[in-house]
Structure 1
Amino acid sequence: MVGKTYELRLYVAGKTTKSVVALENLKKICEDHLAGKYSIEVVDLLEKPQLAEGDQILAIPTLVKKVPEPVRKIIGDLSNVEKVLVGLDIRPKPVV
């Protein structure tokens, strides 16, 4: 994973409970597994609905991993850490 930076985009619709939880979960996962090697862009589709088309967003919240390729999408509040790590192709840190 040396030198790899993750560009993540989280699509939400306003400050709903699910959207807030998804962002909190994403930040925790990134800090735990990608410290210093990620950027998160939050796109509120209530403010910019036209951006949903580019990434073919059908449900929210949706996380899109733009870089590194391949592009991946994860739908939901990101509470299942294992599913998110697999979706982002991140190897969990070994438990010591």
Structure 2
Amino acid sequence: MVWRMMSHRTLSELHIVAQKQTVNGTYYRSETLKKTCLDAIARRSKKGSVIERSMLENMSEFLFMQDGAPAHTANVTQQWCSVKSLGFGRKGSGQLTPPT
């Protein structure tokens, strides 16, 4: 499995999940969100390669969407997203609600 964020300006690093690795909430938060997602949204450069530039000029335009995978919808993951990301990714917040 692979995971990546994208915007109209840039891409995050590509996160590759090792074969036979189970992606539970703990793995998703520590290996994917913490290492790949937070690094990508922290970038501020307007120049550089597609994996060096900032995701957006105005982070209020940022929309983080997840599907209904258990690692994404776990309460601990939802809380982590809320704390680390100033509220993005909250379960049941309308536009971010996982599909049913």
TM-score when scaled to structure 1?
A: 0.25
- Structure with the higher strand share, 1 or 2: 1
Higher RCO by CA contacts (8 Å cutoff, separation 6 or greater): 1
Larger Rg: 2
TM-score when scaled to structure 2?
A: 0.25
